[in-house]
Chains A and B, each alone.
Chain A
């Protein structure tokens, strides 16, 4: 008898959870008659995309699919690659390990919440992939996670397995704790200035180099005693060895240049300058080093170091040959990155290059461009179907899929609303959920749902704003 219940329970789980969608990936999906924005080879009219086992198998006209294939009629609709947000803190139950100035041992991986509703809202805005970064409270922050928004799956499934690991660095106001009031009487954390910030980084790499040498010596049998593992320095050794990407938060161009020079000194590369709102002032220096820049489209003036931010940042960097991506750093803004990319078109960036700034370019910055970021045969089927060109303000995602599985479908969403409303009303009527004033016998009223933290401006990353 118990077994039967267990079996029924499992069946129920299977029906109600999105794992049901998993079954789809085993079969084919055929998107028909779409206007396809490939992000690499222009726009293809009236084109079909055949997806097999989560990969784009064919792109062309009048494609044939197996009889059990899921057919999606996209006539009159636009298809784009899934949007990649190269700077986000969504899903993260913690953002900053404030205590030290070097927290390279801390991992965002350990605080990911796969049930965060912001994931679904991002999917509804066409975002499929994100770089989840540690906050900017420390000169050297924690390790990031590159994830795909497989909402409904266990957290392990979110992680892009072959994405190179990365780490957050930070410069400027947040590291100086400009917006942070220390506890009275407490000793201020070092650094308090931009001078100190650079020295924290230099000191960390001096130590990392020594640490690396101690291991190299041990492995070469020049030293007999095995060094003690150092979880702070290990990630920095990986940086020195080119195995870990550095994502460096910063605003002022002089600071970002200082960091590029420190990297030169120690012989490593900075993968991305994050924010880089003044990067346009040092475009040639950035281009020369092959460093990417991940910016806001036009967000500015929310703090002093964002005062020289201009909406022409993207076009100047693009012109200089820098790989530019446009990020959100916000659960809200993430839902409309397509419009942020559209804005740079009027400054002179060609449309496909602007589209790349939210697809292929961030994929390159994260080292995952072999599998995602454009609509090409062999790549993951990370695809958004829009009602209009995604650069139109009137466009709305109809469907978002990751590796061929549908994670957002507006029609399904609309169809479920009445049912959810009924469920909500039923729950509200339960004795346990009624406040005493409404006649319930409990001694305490239920807490009101936690208002959603809006990690909007990046200065909200540091606890002063939370």
Chain B
């Protein structure tokens, strides 16, 4: 592992002493190179440049490709049995082979995995990562919610900032792929699946327009909460239900209009003698979703709203995913019948009602697992704290979710829910080489990350955090 990253880059969360020692080594080597430079003129300018490159350079940030052999490691494949001592080969951005007895290709760079564990990179299927740099008091950095209620053509992919500081912080904390989604209004826009590496959004993109985000109209009786302009009188439940259904009818009409719009466009494409129909970008954007070719992500928490989603999806024959899902386990029958999965975002939330059990939202993943609901655990975070995903899965395991299920809920299950399980979510030959190598259980907060690969590129373990640490750790 003696390559330029690991002698010049700071590793995340390594011991303070170790880092200081490393700095000394670095200084020594710098001096050595400077002397060499003086003696030899500019014989090795390229080597020197690579070595002395600052953490801020693009080359460093996107890592480097190569053929890698991780040997003698504990390999947690997730999809199959864990290999206690095995080899994993990375080539051309993919996992070429994984197993106990795998030949090492000629020229492969070896990484000794003794004492280390290899995991698939985690996937957070519900974030705004890249869309919101500083969530409070800095609106110029926020691109999460468009104005208006109907933004089917808004694409998160076009607003995700590839250079957000959240990207590096997140990927050196186990999460290598996220769904970044817009919010706001009724139809918020389209979410993107991105890998957390790349100089451009195109390099990051896995599925640029994966799903349509809809805030499912809720039944609200009002009257609760704090309102500085006086309390609004609560309305009758049946009245609230009527209002909700009215909004649902509007949504259904919109979906049918979108279907008709698509038919007209198709008819015109087949027969140009027909009058040319006008283009409507918002209608055009809905086509794949109303036809069930791509999923609609519905935000819903309460049982009645989740059942409402299931009914709506069944009636409209669309693919649905629940985002939120506090009480999804209660609606297991409806969800299973309609093949609807849940992106659960409530491990780090307080129960809504005072008389809910203290662990109401902590034990929900275990209850979903028992009820047979397909789910993933997600931070639902703006970006900065997506790094807490492993601990959210772990905490669910503390409240009765089996540990292997907890790991799957942030790897294989989100891959399945996002329709990318053929590419990601487990360590299998042929999948994209997004993986994390740790010195222990990946869900534990005391575990250190030693190596991260995305698309087979070995990444430096640097971030805004490590850079600031480097700048100030020795100040006396």
Give the B-binding residues of A (Cβ under 8 A): 117-118, 120-121, 124, 173, 178-179, 280-281, 283-284, 298-304, 306-308, 310-312, 315-316, 319, 331-333, 336, 339, 342-343, 345-348, 387, 391-396, 413, 417, 420, 424, 435-438, 444-454, 457, 459, 463, 466
A393 in contact with B234 given A179-B136, A345-B446, A459-B137 (CB within 8 Å) = no
B134-A304 in contact (CB<8A): yes
A281-B16 in contact (CB<8A): no
Give A408's nearest chain B residue, CB to CB.
Answer: B358
Give A449's nearest chain B residue, CB to CB.
Answer: B353
The contact of B134 among A301, A395, A420, A437, by CB within 8 Å, is A301
Q: How far is the CA of A356 from the CA of B238 in the complex (A)?
A: 54
A332 in contact with B348 given A436-B236, A448-B223 (CB within 8 Å) = yes
Q: How far is the CA of A186 from the CA of B397 in the complex (A)?
A: 52
A448-B221 in contact (CB<8A): yes
- Write out the residue numbers on chain B whose beta carbons fall within 8 Å of the beta carbon of A120: 358
Q: How far is the CA of A396 from the CA of B387 in the complex (A)?
A: 21
Query: What are 27 A-B pairs at a CB distance below 8 A?
Result: A280-B468, A280-B472, A284-B476, A304-B137, A312-B466, A315-B16, A332-B350, A336-B348, A339-B395, A342-B446, A347-B13, A348-B14, A348-B17, A387-B398, A394-B394, A396-B398, A413-B358, A417-B357, A420-B355, A424-B355, A435-B238, A436-B236, A448-B222, A448-B224, A449-B353, A451-B225, A463-B228
A312 in contact with B223 given A448-B234, A449-B353 (CB within 8 Å) = no
The contact of B352 among A124, A336, A452, by CB within 8 Å, is A452
B468-A310 in contact (CB<8A): yes
A342-B445 in contact (CB<8A): yes
A124-B137 in contact (CB<8A): no
B230 in contact (CB, < 8 A): no
Give B15's nearest chain A residue, CB to CB.
Answer: A348
The contact of B237 among A308, A339, A392, A438, by CB within 8 Å, is A438
Q: How far is the CA of A220 from the CA of B277 in the complex (A)?
A: 95
A304-B469 in contact (CB<8A): no
B40 in contact (CB, < 8 A): no
A298-B233 in contact (CB<8A): no
- Write out the residue numbers on chain B whose beta carbons fall within 8 Å of the beta carbon of A300: 384
**Complex interface residues of chain B between 125 and 170 (CB less than 8 A to chain A):** 133-138, 165-166
- Write out the residue numbers on chain A whose beta carbons fall within 8 Å of the beta carbon of B473: 280, 312, 316
- Write out the residue numbers on chain B whose beta carbons fall within 8 Å of the beta carbon of A438: 237
B137-A173 in contact (CB<8A): yes
B49 in contact (CB, < 8 A): no
A393-B395 in contact (CB<8A): yes
> Least Cβ distance of B449 to chain A in Å?
9
Q: How far is the CA of A333 from the CA of B350 in the complex (A)?
A: 9
- Write out the residue numbers on chain A whose beta carbons fall within 8 Å of the beta carbon of B228: 463
A303-B137 in contact (CB<8A): yes
B398-A346 in contact (CB<8A): no
Task: Annotate B201-233 by CB proximity to A: 1 below 8 A, 0 otherwise.
Answer: 000000000000000000001111110100001
- Write out the residue numbers on chain A whose beta carbons fall within 8 Å of the beta carbon of B466: 312
Q: How far is the CA of A446 from the CA of B221 in the complex (A)?
A: 10
Give the A-binding residues of B (Cβ under 8 A): 13-19, 133-138, 165-166, 221-226, 228, 233-239, 348-355, 357-359, 383-385, 387, 390-391, 394-395, 397-399, 403, 443-448, 464-466, 468-469, 472-473, 475-476
> Least Cβ distance of A73 to chain B in Å?
21
- Write out the residue numbers on chain B whose beta carbons fall within 8 Å of the beta carbon of A304: 134, 137-138
Give B222's nearest chain A residue, CB to CB.
Answer: A448
A435-B236 in contact (CB<8A): yes
Q: How far is the CA of A436 from the CA of B237 in the complex (A)?
A: 8
The contact of A302 among B16, B136, B350, B472, by CB within 8 Å, is B136
Q: A391-B445, A393-B397 are in contact. List 14 more A-B contacts (CB 8 A).
A: A280-B468, A299-B385, A301-B383, A302-B134, A303-B134, A310-B468, A348-B18, A393-B445, A394-B398, A424-B355, A451-B224, A452-B352, A453-B226, A459-B136
> Least Cβ distance of B366 to chain A in Å?
12
- Write out the residue numbers on chain B whose beta carbons fall within 8 Å of the beta carbon of A348: 14-19
> Least Cβ distance of B161 to chain A in Å?
13
What are the nearest 7 A-B pairs in CB distance?
A393-B394, A348-B16, A437-B238, A301-B384, A342-B445, A348-B15, A303-B136
> Least Cβ distance of B468 to chain A in Å?
5
Q: How far is the CA of A309 from the CA of B124 in the complex (A)?
A: 23
Give B467's nearest chain A residue, CB to CB.
Answer: A310
B349-A316 in contact (CB<8A): no
- Write out the residue numbers on chain A whose beta carbons fall within 8 Å of the beta carbon of B348: 332-333, 336
Give B397's nearest chain A residue, CB to CB.
Answer: A394
Give B399's nearest chain A residue, CB to CB.
Answer: A396
The contact of A395 among B221, B223, B398, B469, by CB within 8 Å, is B398
Q: How far is the CA of A387 from the CA of B359 in the complex (A)?
A: 15
B445-A343 in contact (CB<8A): yes
The contact of A308 among B238, B387, B447, B468, by CB within 8 Å, is B468
Most A CB within 10 A of own CB, among B166, B348, B465: B465
The contact of B133 among A124, A280, A301, A391, by CB within 8 Å, is A301
Give A346's nearest chain B residue, CB to CB.
Answer: B13
A346-B446 in contact (CB<8A): yes
B398-A121 in contact (CB<8A): no
> Least Cβ distance of A84 to chain B in Å?
20
Most A CB within 10 A of own CB, among B18, B394, B445, B466: B445
Give B235's nearest chain A residue, CB to CB.
Answer: A445
A452-B351 in contact (CB<8A): yes
- Write out the residue numbers on chain B whose beta carbons fall within 8 Å of the beta carbon of A420: 355
- Write out the residue numbers on chain A whose beta carbons fall within 8 Å of the beta carbon of B13: 311, 346-347
Q: How far is the CA of A308 from the CA of B238 in the complex (A)?
A: 50
A346 in contact with B136 given A300-B384, A394-B398 (CB within 8 Å) = no
B224-A346 in contact (CB<8A): no
Give B16's nearest chain A residue, CB to CB.
Answer: A348
Give B347's nearest chain A residue, CB to CB.
Answer: A336
A312-B465 in contact (CB<8A): yes
B234-A445 in contact (CB<8A): yes
B221-A445 in contact (CB<8A): yes
B350-A454 in contact (CB<8A): yes
A347 in contact with B16 given A336-B395, A396-B398 (CB within 8 Å) = yes
Q: How far is the CA of A394 from the CA of B395 in the complex (A)?
A: 6
> Least Cβ distance of A72 to chain B in Å?
21
A444-B234 in contact (CB<8A): yes
Q: How far is the CA of A13 from the CA of B6 in the complex (A)?
A: 66
Give B231's nearest chain A residue, CB to CB.
Answer: A447
- Write out the residue numbers on chain B whose beta carbons fall within 8 Å of the beta carbon of A435: 221, 236-238
Give B473's nearest chain A residue, CB to CB.
Answer: A316
- Write out the residue numbers on chain B whose beta carbons fall within 8 Å of the beta carbon of A336: 348, 395
A346-B354 in contact (CB<8A): no
- Write out the residue numbers on chain B whose beta carbons fall within 8 Å of the beta carbon of A450: 224-226
A302 in contact with B384 given A121-B350, A332-B349, A437-B239 (CB within 8 Å) = yes
- Write out the residue numbers on chain A whose beta carbons fall within 8 Å of the beta carbon of B135: 301-303, 457
B472-A466 in contact (CB<8A): no
B134-A346 in contact (CB<8A): no
A178 in contact with B137 given A280-B472, A393-B445, A451-B225 (CB within 8 Å) = yes
B137-A179 in contact (CB<8A): yes
A393-B443 in contact (CB<8A): yes
- Write out the residue numbers on chain B whose beta carbons fall within 8 Å of the beta carbon of A453: 226
- Write out the residue numbers on chain A whose beta carbons fall within 8 Å of the beta carbon of B235: 445
The contact of A339 among B166, B351, B445, by CB within 8 Å, is B445
Q: How far is the CA of A21 from the CA of B426 in the complex (A)?
A: 51
- Write out the residue numbers on chain B whose beta carbons fall within 8 Å of the beta carbon of A391: 445-446
> Least Cβ distance of B183 to chain A in Å?
16
Q: How far is the CA of A301 from the CA of B134 in the complex (A)?
A: 5
Q: How far is the CA of A332 from the CA of B358 in the complex (A)?
A: 11
A298-B387 in contact (CB<8A): yes
> Least Cβ distance of B225 to chain A in Å?
6
The contact of B354 among A179, A315, A452, by CB within 8 Å, is A452
> Least Cβ distance of B62 to chain A in Å?
22
> Least Cβ distance of B137 to chain A in Å?
4
Q: How far is the CA of A315 from the CA of B351 in the complex (A)?
A: 33
> Least Cβ distance of A85 to chain B in Å?
15
The contact of A319 among B16, B239, B353, by CB within 8 Å, is B16
